[in-house]
Chain A
Amino acid sequence: MSHIKIKLHENQLQFIKDTCKEFNYEPGELINILHKLQDKFGYLPSEVQEVVANELKIPTAKVFGVVTFYSYFTMVPKGKYPINICLGTACYVRGAEKILDEFKKQLNIKVGESTPDSKFSLNCLRCVGACGLAPVVMIGEKTYGRVAPDDVKKILSEYQND
């Protein structure tokens, strides 16, 4: 599974158990449970998945299968400021690839990676539905529209002092 090994704190363990209980240990609610846990922890490491599997009395492989199937779930922690570049068609034809290249260059990381200080992580997504603003970049909850390659440095500098 994941290369990251973590140890869950007692209160984290309790949160997972409470969440499973809240959904009546219903295996059909697995996706809803995982949503809630990812909201809380930021990601779903294998240790979390094992506890969920135990609680719901289903194989860990089934939980792992669901986590890896859906792109919304992640097994690696994201940066403090997750950067998402929209690569939907509208953004693509308006030059989103160049924006992505510029972020890769500026941060010196690849897609799916985080900067060594865990400040930024870089990912792509498919269409946030703001096609009128293409190309679109999201950093956390904030949306940047009509981004040009030259803007990238300026955008990143907004987060410099954090």
Chain B
Amino acid sequence: MGTYKYHILVCGGTGCKSSQSTQIVQNLNEEIKANNLENFVKVVTTGCFGFCERGPIVKVLPDNSFYNYVKPEDATEIINEHIIKGRRVERLLFRDPVTNKPVTDSKHINFYQKQLRIVLRNCGVIDPENIEEYIARDGYLALYKCLNELTPTEVIDIIKRSGLRGRGGAGFPTGVKWEIAAASPGPEKYVVCNADEGDPGAFMDRSVLEGDPHSVLEAMAICGYAIGASHGLIYIRAEYPMAIKRLKIAIKQAEEYGLLGKNIFGTDFSFDIELRYGAGAFVCGEETALIHSMEGNRGEPTVKPPYPAVSGYKGKPTNVNNVETFANISPIIIKGPEWFASIGTEKSKGTKVFALAGKINNVGLIEVPMGITLREIIYEIGGGIKNDKKFKAIQTGGPSGGCLTEKHLDTPIEYETLVAAGSMMGSGGMIVMDEDDCMVSVAKFYLDFTVEESCGKCAPCRIGNKRLSEILDKITKGNGTMEDIELLKNLCMVIKDTALCGLGQTSPNPVQSTLENFWDEYVEHIVDKKCRANKCKDLIHYYIDPENCTGCMACARKCPVNAIAGERKQVHVINQDLCTKCGTCLETCKFNAVYII
């Protein structure tokens, strides 16, 4: 890292940028200039550190000091104290949530201890806009090795032996996919990177593209060499402007260095990469839909076969892999398939990146070996449930996945075990829910998403999911019957069996898994007309406890519909006919007099 004594790494991921990390960089640089320290310390904007909960994050090397919740005005103190006087700024250091003591070295932070970073190896470490930093960490070495020492068949064999499976969700063996594409005849083939990350609550692909774009470019070139393609396309969401910007910079730099383009490393292998933009359609994550969208059409899926590996973009053999899958390729080539296969479980090799979010203390991006348990993720890495509430469920796999509960906490995480438990790996979103979340409402939330995102081509998805959503709506409004549950169950099965693509075939998962794991809650909504989480507005009523009410009139004044009657110093009463259940009175009351039944 040059001759600088200190490097200050500032997170430039989307989360931290949203909380002024750009300003922090600017202030640090101004302070450095003011103190004539330009040759002594260097500020680097990196990709995501993963610990988004604590953002913005600033890390100082070589001593690994990990500053969290940094504000732009803290720049002066960091430079004056840490850099000039060599004393850590204690108040900004990460504090262990249990002991409340500051942790001086980031290696000892619980959040990172159980992680194993292969995909995220460079995120939060290098400057993603500088190709030399990538090269300094063995970047493009794997491509060199492939082009000069290995035949395409050998490359495919290495990927096959590593046991790597598609990280987009379904888990198809990557090496086999490459093999099929390589075997397809024809001089014109395409390598496509699926960066249309659409699962709500999943942001790992974005972090890789923002933090380490070259790892994807290099892997795409390796794939091109293996299957005999000379064109690569990255299909990326238009909603990810920063990832697009960094990819463009990375492609340009790689071309300048002769690592993309004609005759790479002086061999006769040529490979170029261009970007294609999505326009906000969840279904385009499905590979046939994605290809139609790249061709300028509506992103509607088509029946497989033919598989894209045989007939894809422009009718030519096309290999589609997800961002995270590609990010695994270079380390496998360099360290060998045996190394990769030694990580994880028998059927699921390597690591998986998860976006941990929801009611959890440490929201962020984590990478863990396959086979880790949910308990380790939630309580050790995630730091437990927010506000010490009771854990209720963890939703994995986005709208195609399901809710797992207490009884699944010790199940090792693999593709197969998650499916057996009624969920799926999906792209890796993990949303933690606590006792305040109503599981019927959660199922409805996902169904509403599917209804909105269904492309409308096949009837089971277009009409079936709409009906599912309507029945769930009826139940959350207290109008459901037990027959509705039977109807839900049957409809779920029909949709699963008959929908055209992966979106429709998995869309009933949130309903089925909540029915399976939270049957009591459905029954309560239907029979007792009760929502135990107090989420379903039609099933709850606000009351004022005469014991606690002091007659201060605060709630009556705030009530937007004037539903609260009562004079000063007299007990107030809520008119149930007028009440819209907005909850303002509950938030306003300082005497805990408002309660919900």
Chain A positions near chain B (C-beta within 8 angstroms): 26-32, 34-35, 65-66, 69-73, 87-90, 92-94, 98, 101, 105, 125-134, 136, 143, 145, 149
Given A69-B455, A71-B280, A128-B239, A27 contacting B200 (CB threshold 8 A): no
Pick the contact of B445 from A30, A66, A92, A149 — CB < 8 Å? A92
Contacts of B201 in A (CB 8 A): 88-90, 127, 131
Can you name 30 A-B residue pairings with CB atoms under 8 Å?
A26-B296, A28-B294, A28-B295, A32-B277, A69-B281, A70-B279, A70-B299, A73-B280, A87-B200, A88-B200, A89-B357, A89-B398, A89-B445, A90-B358, A93-B433, A93-B442, A94-B358, A127-B199, A127-B200, A129-B15, A129-B206, A131-B15, A131-B203, A132-B54, A132-B363, A132-B364, A133-B15, A133-B18, A133-B55, A143-B19
Pick the contact of A132 from B52, B433, B437 — CB < 8 Å? B52
A56 to B66, CA, bound (A): 55
- Closest residue of chain B to A125 (Cβ to Cβ) is B239
* 4 nearest A-B pairs in the assembled complex, by CB-CB distance: A132-B52, A129-B203, A70-B279, A88-B200
A128 to B358, CA, bound (A): 14
Given A35-B238, A66-B297, A133-B18, A105 contacting B203 (CB threshold 8 A): no
Structural contact, B15 and A130, CB atoms closer than 8 A: yes
A98 to B14, CA, bound (A): 24
B574 within 8 A of A: no
Given A90-B357, A94-B358, A131-B52, A31 contacting B279 (CB threshold 8 A): yes
B557 within 8 A of A: no
Structural contact, B431 and A130, CB atoms closer than 8 A: no
Structural contact, A132 and B15, CB atoms closer than 8 A: yes
Q: How far is the CB of B447 from chain A (nearest CB, A)?
A: 13
B383-403 vs A, CB cutoff 8 Å, 1 = contact: the mask equals: 000000000000100100000
Q: How far is the CB of B143 from chain A (nearest CB, A)?
A: 28
A27 to B294, CA, bound (A): 11
B504 within 8 A of A: no
Q: How far is the CB of B64 from chain A (nearest CB, A)?
A: 21
A149 to B358, CA, bound (A): 18
B49-77 vs A, CB cutoff 8 Å, 1 = contact: the mask equals: 00011110000000000000000000000
Q: How far is the CB of A160 from chain B (nearest CB, A)?
A: 21
Q: How far is the CB of A82 from chain B (nearest CB, A)?
A: 13
Pick the contact of A27 from B55, B296, B437, B445 — CB < 8 Å? B296
Interface centre among B199, B295, B357, B455 (most CB of A within 10 A): B357
A126 to B357, CA, bound (A): 14
B359 within 8 A of A: yes
Contacts of B137 in A (CB 8 A): none
Contacts of A105 in B (CB 8 A): 560
B171 within 8 A of A: no
A98 to B582, CA, bound (A): 8
Contacts of A149 in B (CB 8 A): 587
Given A92-B445, A126-B449, A129-B15, A72 contacting B238 (CB threshold 8 A): yes
Q: How far is the CB of A24 from chain B (nearest CB, A)?
A: 12
New A-B contacts (20) at CB < 8 Å, excluding given A66-B298, A126-B198? A31-B296, A69-B298, A70-B299, A72-B238, A73-B279, A89-B445, A90-B431, A92-B200, A93-B433, A93-B437, A93-B442, A94-B358, A98-B583, A126-B449, A127-B203, A129-B15, A129-B206, A132-B15, A133-B19, A143-B19
B355 within 8 A of A: yes
Q: How many residues of B contact A (CB 8 A)?
A: 53
- Closest residue of chain A to B386 (Cβ to Cβ) is A94
- Closest residue of chain B to A124 (Cβ to Cβ) is B452
Contacts of B431 in A (CB 8 A): 89-90, 93
Chain B positions near chain A (C-beta within 8 angstroms): 14-15, 18-19, 52-55, 198-203, 206-207, 238-240, 276-282, 293-299, 355, 357-359, 363-364, 395, 398, 429, 431, 433, 437, 442, 445, 449, 455, 560, 582-583, 587
Structural contact, A28 and B55, CB atoms closer than 8 A: no
Structural contact, B280 and A31, CB atoms closer than 8 A: no
Pick the contact of A145 from B19, B355, B395, B398 — CB < 8 Å? B19
- Closest residue of chain A to B355 (Cβ to Cβ) is A131
A134 to B363, CA, bound (A): 10
Pick the contact of B14 from A72, A89, A130, A134 — CB < 8 Å? A130
Structural contact, A31 and B277, CB atoms closer than 8 A: yes
Structural contact, A143 and B18, CB atoms closer than 8 A: yes
Contacts of B295 in A (CB 8 A): 28
Given A94-B358, A133-B52, A66 contacting B203 (CB threshold 8 A): no
Contacts of B560 in A (CB 8 A): 105
Contacts of A69 in B (CB 8 A): 281, 298-299, 455
Given A35-B277, A93-B359, A129-B206, A29 contacting B296 (CB threshold 8 A): yes
Structural contact, B239 and A89, CB atoms closer than 8 A: no
Interface centre among A31, A65, A94, A129 (most CB of B within 10 A): A129
A28 to B233, CA, bound (A): 14
A69 to B299, CA, bound (A): 8
A130 to B56, CA, bound (A): 12
Contacts of A125 in B (CB 8 A): 239
Q: How far is the CB of B459 from chain A (nearest CB, A)?
A: 18
A8 to B277, CA, bound (A): 26
Contacts of B281 in A (CB 8 A): 69-71
Q: How far is the CB of B562 from chain A (nearest CB, A)?
A: 15
A128 to B537, CA, bound (A): 28
Structural contact, B298 and A65, CB atoms closer than 8 A: yes
Structural contact, B53 and A30, CB atoms closer than 8 A: no
A89 to B52, CA, bound (A): 16
Contacts of B358 in A (CB 8 A): 89-90, 93-94
